[in-house]
Structure 1
Amino acid sequence: MIFSRKQPLAEKACATEAFRLAAFAFFAVLTSCTSLPKPDIMAQPESSLPELVSEPASEAEPNQEYGAFTEEQLYRAIVGELEANSGDIAAAGDSYLDLALGTKDLGVILRAVQFASIANDTNALLQLGLVWASVDPADPQPQLLLAIEYLEAGAFDRAIPRMARVLELGGSIDFSALSSRTGQLNPQSRAQLIRALEPLLTQFPDDDSLALAQVQLLAQSGEYDAALTALDTARAQVTQTAGTVLLETQILQNMGRADDAARVMRAGVKVFDTDPILRASLARLYISQDKFDDALEQYAILIAQDAENWEAVYAKALVHLEIEEYGEAESLFQRLIDSGERVDESRYYLATSFERQGQLERAIDNYRLVSIGTNNFLGAQQQATRLSIALGAVDAAHDWLQRVSRGQPRLEVLFINMEAQLLQQAGLPAKAKQLLDRSLNRYPGEVDLLFARVIYFDSIKDLASSEADLRSIIAIKPDDARALNHLGYMLADQTTRYEEALTLLESAIALNPGDPATTDSLAWAQYKLGRYEDALQNIRRAFAVFPDPEVASHMGEILWMMGRRDEALAVWQRALEGAPDDPLVTEAMQRLQTQASEDESE
Structure 2
Amino acid sequence: MRSGAGKFKQLRHFTAVTTLALGLVACAGAPLRSASKTSASPQPLARLTVVTPDADHDVLAQLLAGEMALTRTDLKAASGHYDKAMALSNDPQVAERAAGLAIAVHDGAAAQRALDRWQALGAKPAAMAQARAQLALDRGDATEARRQLELLIGSGDKDAWRQFGRVLVGARDQAQAARLLEALATPQRLPGDAHAWLAMSELGDQFGRHAYAVQIADAAMRHFKSAETYAWAAQMKFKDGDHDGARALLQKALAKDPQNAQLRLAYAGMLSQAGDYAGASRLLAHGPQNADIYAMRAGLAAHERDDKALASLYQELQKAPPEVRESSAYLLGQLAEMQHREAEALAWYDQVGDADEHAFDADLRSAMILHAQGKRADAHELLGQLQLAYLDQPAQLRQAWQADAELYLREQNYAKAEAAFSRALQVVPDDPGLLYGRGLAYAEAGQIDQAVQDFQHLLKIKPGDVDASNALGYTLADANRDLPEAERLIRAARAAKPDDPAIADSWGWLQYRKGNLEQAAQTLRNAWLARKDADVGVHLGEVLWKQGHQQDAQRVFDEVRKLDPHNVALQETLKRLHP
Q: What TM-score comes out, normalization by structure 2 length? A: 0.52
2:132 corresponds to: 146
The one-letter amino acid paired with 1:457 is Y
The one-letter amino acid paired with 2:127 is Q
Q: What secondary structure is seen at the aligned counterpart in 1 of 2:189?
A: coil
1:489 pairs with 2:484? no
Is this contact kept in 2: 1:367–1:380, CA < 8 A? yes
2:251 corresponds to: 266
Could you say if the C-alpha distance between residues 332 and 139 of structure 1 is closer, same or farther in structure 2, counting changes exceeding 3 Å? same
1:254 corresponds to: 239
**Separation of aligned partners in 2, 1:420 and 1:90:** 41
1:285 corresponds to: 270
Match of 2:414 among 419, 433, 447: 433
Instruction: Please give the residue correspondences for 1:356-395 in structure 2 after superposition, counting only pairs within 5 Å.
Output: 356-360=338-342, 362-363=344-345, 366=348, 375-376=357-358, 379-380=361-362, 383=365, 393=373
1:161 corresponds to: 147
What's the CA shift string for 1:451-496, capped at 9, x where partnerless? 85532223577422436xx7xxxxxxxxxxxxxxx36537xxxxxx
1:10 pairs with 2:10? no
Q: How many Å apart are 1:192 and its aligned residue?
A: 3.9
Q: What secondary structure is seen at the aligned counterpart in 2 of 1:301?
A: coil
Q: What secondary structure is seen at the aligned counterpart in 2 of 1:256?
A: coil
Q: Greater shift after overlay, 79-88 or 317-326?
A: 79-88
The one-letter amino acid paired with 1:146 is R
Instruction: Please give the residue correspondences for 1:110-259 in structure 2 after superposition, counting only pairs within 5 Å.
Output: 110-113=92-95, 116=98, 122=104, 127-133=113-119, 139-147=125-133, 157=142, 159-171=145-157, 173-175=159-161, 190-200=174-184, 205-207=189-191, 215-220=201-206, 222=208, 224-225=210-211, 227-233=213-219, 238-259=223-244
Could you say if the C-alpha distance between residues 160 and 458 of structure 1 is closer, same or farther in structure 2, counting changes exceeding 3 Å? farther
Is this contact kept in 1: 2:414–2:441, CA < 8 A? yes
Could you say if the C-alpha distance between residues 233 and 192 of structure 1 is closer, same or farther in structure 2, counting changes exceeding 3 Å? same
Could you say if the C-alpha distance between residues 102 and 219 of structure 1 is closer, same or farther in structure 2, counting changes exceeding 3 Å? same
Is this contact kept in 2: 1:351–1:364, CA < 8 A? yes
Instruction: Please give the residue correspondences for 1:516-555 in structure 2 after superposition, counting only pairs within 5 Å.
Output: 518-521=460-463
**Separation of aligned partners in 1, 2:81 and 2:210:** 50
Is this contact kept in 2: 1:333–1:350, CA < 8 A? yes
The one-letter amino acid paired with 2:132 is L
The one-letter amino acid paired with 1:432 is N
Match of 1:397 among 371, 375, 379: 375
Could you say if the C-alpha distance between residues 269 and 198 of structure 1 is closer, same or farther in structure 2, counting changes exceeding 3 Å? same
**Separation of aligned partners in 2, 1:156 and 1:76:** 34
Q: How many Å apart are 1:291 and its aligned residue?
A: 3.9
Is this contact kept in 1: 2:268–2:280, CA < 8 A? yes
1:352 corresponds to: 334
1:326 pairs with 2:310? yes
Could you say if the C-alpha distance between residues 117 and 278 of structure 1 is closer, same or farther in structure 2, counting changes exceeding 3 Å? farther
Is this contact kept in 1: 2:230–2:250, CA < 8 A? yes
The one-letter amino acid paired with 1:167 is I
The one-letter amino acid paired with 2:382 is V
Structure 2 stretches of 5 or more lacking a match? Answer: 1-27, 35-41, 71-77, 390-396, 429-433, 471-491, 511-579
Is this contact kept in 1: 2:402–2:421, CA < 8 A? no
Is this contact kept in 1: 2:265–2:284, CA < 8 A? yes
The one-letter amino acid paired with 1:331 is Q
Structure 1 stretches of 5 or more lacking a match? Answer: 20-71, 304-308, 471-485, 491-516, 525-547, 554-571, 592-602
**Separation of aligned partners in 2, 1:185 and 1:88:** 25
1:455 corresponds to: 440
Q: Greater shift after overlay, 207-216 or 161-170?
A: 207-216
Could you say if the C-alpha distance between residues 183 and 319 of structure 1 is closer, same or farther in structure 2, counting changes exceeding 3 Å? farther
Q: Greater shift after overlay, 345-354 or 363-372?
A: 363-372
Is this contact kept in 1: 2:228–2:253, CA < 8 A? no
1:594 corresponds to: none
Percent of aligned pairs sharing the same letter = 15
Is this contact kept in 1: 2:442–2:448, CA < 8 A? yes
**Separation of aligned partners in 1, 2:333 and 2:379:** 18
What's the CA shift string for 1:415-457, capped at 9, x where partnerless? 6753542464x5x6xx23254489899x999889998553222
1:301 corresponds to: 287
What's the CA shift string for 1:75-117, capped at 9, x where partnerless? 999x5368779996889997875475579xxxx2524246659
**Separation of aligned partners in 2, 1:294 and 1:402:** 41
**Separation of aligned partners in 1, 2:336 and 2:133:** 55
Q: How many Å apart are 1:262 and its aligned residue?
A: 1.9
**Separation of aligned partners in 1, 2:112 and 2:56:** 21
**Separation of aligned partners in 2, 1:353 and 1:329:** 8
**Separation of aligned partners in 2, 1:88 and 1:261:** 49
The one-letter amino acid paired with 1:80 is V
CA RMSD of aligned residues (A): 5.9
Q: How many Å apart are 1:146 and its aligned residue?
A: 3.5
1:339 pairs with 2:317? no
Could you say if the C-alpha distance between residues 86 and 272 of structure 1 is closer, same or farther in structure 2, counting changes exceeding 3 Å? same
The one-letter amino acid paired with 1:10 is P
Q: What secondary structure is seen at the aligned counterpart in 2 of 1:302?
A: coil
Could you say if the C-alpha distance between residues 174 and 242 of structure 1 is closer, same or farther in structure 2, counting changes exceeding 3 Å? farther
Is this contact kept in 2: 1:348–1:366, CA < 8 A? yes
Is this contact kept in 1: 2:332–2:348, CA < 8 A? yes
Instruction: Please give the residue correspondences for 1:582-597 in structure 2 after superposition, counting only pairs within 5 Å.
Output: none
Is this contact kept in 2: 1:389–1:423, CA < 8 A? no
**Separation of aligned partners in 2, 1:280 and 1:87:** 45
**Separation of aligned partners in 2, 1:102 and 1:385:** 58
Q: How many Å apart are 1:398 and its aligned residue?
A: 0.9
1:532 corresponds to: none
Could you say if the C-alpha distance between residues 450 and 126 of structure 1 is closer, same or farther in structure 2, counting changes exceeding 3 Å? same
Q: How many Å apart are 1:261 and its aligned residue?
A: 1.5
Q: How many Å apart are 1:339 and its aligned residue?
A: 2.3
Q: What secondary structure is seen at the aligned counterpart in 1 of 2:241?
A: coil
Could you say if the C-alpha distance between residues 438 and 136 of structure 1 is closer, same or farther in structure 2, counting changes exceeding 3 Å? closer
Is this contact kept in 1: 2:205–2:213, CA < 8 A? yes
**Separation of aligned partners in 2, 1:445 and 1:228:** 49
**Separation of aligned partners in 2, 1:585 and 1:405:** 31
Is this contact kept in 1: 2:271–2:277, CA < 8 A? yes
Q: Give the length in aligned residue pairs.
A: 419
**Separation of aligned partners in 1, 2:403 and 2:242:** 44
